A and B are shown apart, each in its own frame.
Chain A
Amino acid sequence: MKKVFENLKNGLIKSNPVLVLALGLCPTLAVSTSIDNALGMTAAVLFVLISSNIVVSLIRNYTPNRVRIAVFIVIIATLVTIVDLTMQAFLPELSENLGIFIPLIVVNCIILGRAEAFASKNTPLNSTADALGMGMGFGIAIVIISFFRQVLGTGELSVFDREIFQAPGLTDNPMAIFILPMGAFLVIGVLLALLRYTGVIPNE
């Protein structure tokens, strides 16, 4: 049981997929324009990551070693199609905002990476814990980045149409660069440097 908990904790900070391993950067930077998008993306990635880890772990003893990557990709692509269609049907607005980054979860290195490095060698229980930890680690990173981008770029913070606070002085003159693509690079660059400076994650 202790090992399950260790696996869960591992992905959160120590080997955070985005901030430490630098995996899955494309969706992190692209959809972090608002917290709503960030949460939607996290939910989609969590679902695909957990299900693919469970399936891969269940069939790990029957998959021929030579074709394993192809098998993993088909499993992941099927799961992503399920998420894509479900989202189009029930959350059309979110689906529109996330655009091609939903089908692009297929090539998100976090998911294939965990299937190959962890799920194909471990039991379903441990793999679920690992997927949950990694998915949450991804979620933490993307929510932090989108928080700064939304607050600095629009001057207010609202989650699912509910307003949480307005930053004084920023509402009238928001710093629009943070909503533009360059803002994402700026936020993640400074955030990484700060986390390294304070010792939360190791220096290079």
Chain B
Amino acid sequence: MNDLVTIFISMALINNFVLARFLGLCPFLGVSKKLSSAVSMGLAVIMVMTVASIVTWLLYHVLLVPFGVEYITTVMFILVIASLVQILELTIRRTNIPLYNALGIYLPLITTNCAVLGVTLINTREDFTFLETVVSALGGGIGFTLVLAMMSGIRERLQLADTPRSFKGLPNAFLVAMLLGLCFLAFGGMV
């Protein structure tokens, strides 16, 4: 139990996907202009990350390891993620229209989100058990959403601020990310 809490905190706060591991920077910079879209994106990422981690863990330990073909991990994981995203999109469209309207356009984008492939690869490399994999995926997704929401809140206000012209847009976003990263450094003492 203690291990699981440690993994969760480490994935969500200390080794935050965006600020410490540099995974998922594209959506972090692209979708963080409005708070509502940032939260939708975050929820979609949590969902895909968790499902993808469970499926890839099962496939890796049931198929790849017993047959000794670990070298096709990369090819297989990306195909699994791409098809999972499609299946999720179809299922949500059939069963839950409001959720589909909220997440709709963000789901296909997630296929090329390196945070999703990243979390499955990290789980494999760290040799996590099934339960640890689920917790690590949840922690990673929640940490990602947290930072995305904070960032979009800050950027909404930053748009009205009077900053030098050359800093408008991306450079400002990077500097905000640096300050957020410095704040998150303080979580390092928690584990």
Q: Which residues of B contact A43 (CB under 8 A)?
A: none
Indicate which residue in B20, B25, B111 contacts A25 across the interface (CB closer than 8 Å). Answer: B25
18 contacts between A and B (CB under 8 A): A25-B22, A26-B24, A26-B114, A29-B25, A30-B23, A81-B71, A100-B118, A103-B121, A104-B118, A181-B21, A185-B181, A186-B174, A186-B178, A189-B170, A189-B174, A196-B165, A196-B166, A197-B164
Q: Find residues 77-118 in chain B having any chain A CB closer than 8 Å to their own CB.
A: 78-79, 82, 111-114, 117-118
CA distance A196 to B72 in the complex (A): 43
CA distance A74 to B29 in the complex (A): 27
Complex contact B185–A107 (CB within 8 A): no
Q: Find residues 164-179 in chain A having any chain B CB closer than 8 Å to their own CB.
A: none
Known: A30-B22, A190-B171. A185 touches B177 (CB 8 A): yes
CA distance A26 to B27 in the complex (A): 11
Complex contact B22–A189 (CB within 8 A): no
Indicate which residue in A26, A85, A203 contacts B25 across the interface (CB closer than 8 Å). Answer: A26
Whole-angstrom distance from the CB of A197 to the nearest CB of chain B?
4
Q: Find residues 75-94 in chain A having any chain B CB closer than 8 Å to their own CB.
A: 77-78, 80-81, 84-85
Complex contact A103–B117 (CB within 8 A): yes
Q: Encode A89-125 as 1/0 by CB contact (under 8 A) with B.
A: 0000000000010011011110010000000000000
The 5 closest A-B pairs by CB, nearest first: A189-B174, A185-B178, A30-B22, A182-B181, A196-B166
Known: A25-B25, A26-B26, A181-B181. A188 touches B174 (CB 8 A): yes
Chain B residue at smallest Cβ distance from A182: B181
Complex contact A203–B26 (CB within 8 A): no
Q: B172 within 8 Å of A by Cβ? A: yes
CA distance A184 to B181 in the complex (A): 11
- Given known contacts A185-B181, A186-B175, what 11 new A-B pairs fall within 8 Å (CB)? A22-B170, A25-B25, A30-B22, A81-B74, A84-B74, A100-B125, A106-B78, A107-B114, A184-B22, A186-B178, A190-B171
CA distance A22 to B82 in the complex (A): 23
In this complex, how many residues of chain A approach chain B with their Cβ under 8 Å: the count is 41
Q: A161 within 8 Å of B by Cβ? A: no
CA distance A125 to B24 in the complex (A): 33
Q: B75 within 8 Å of A by Cβ? A: yes
Complex contact B26–A189 (CB within 8 A): no
Indicate which residue in B20, B71, B112, B113 contacts A181 across the interface (CB closer than 8 Å). Answer: B20
Q: Which residues of A contact B118 (CB under 8 A)?
A: 100, 104
CA distance A30 to B18 in the complex (A): 10
Q: Which residues of A contact B73 (CB under 8 A)?
A: 103
Known: A26-B25, A81-B71, A109-B112. A185 touches B175 (CB 8 A): yes
Indicate which residue in B113, B164, B168 contacts A204 across the interface (CB closer than 8 Å). Answer: B168
Indicate which residue in A30, A109, A197 contacts B26 across the interface (CB closer than 8 Å). Answer: A109
Whole-angstrom distance from the CB of B60 to the nearest CB of chain A?
13
Known: A109-B112, A193-B164, A197-B166. A100 touches B75 (CB 8 A): no
Complex contact A73–B78 (CB within 8 A): yes
Q: Which residues of B contact A30 (CB under 8 A)?
A: 21-23
Indicate which residue in A25, A182, A189 contacts B172 across the interface (CB closer than 8 Å). Answer: A189
Whole-angstrom distance from the CB of B190 to the nearest CB of chain A?
17
Q: A59 within 8 Å of B by Cβ? A: no
Q: A58 within 8 Å of B by Cβ? A: no
Whole-angstrom distance from the CB of A192 to the nearest CB of chain B?
4
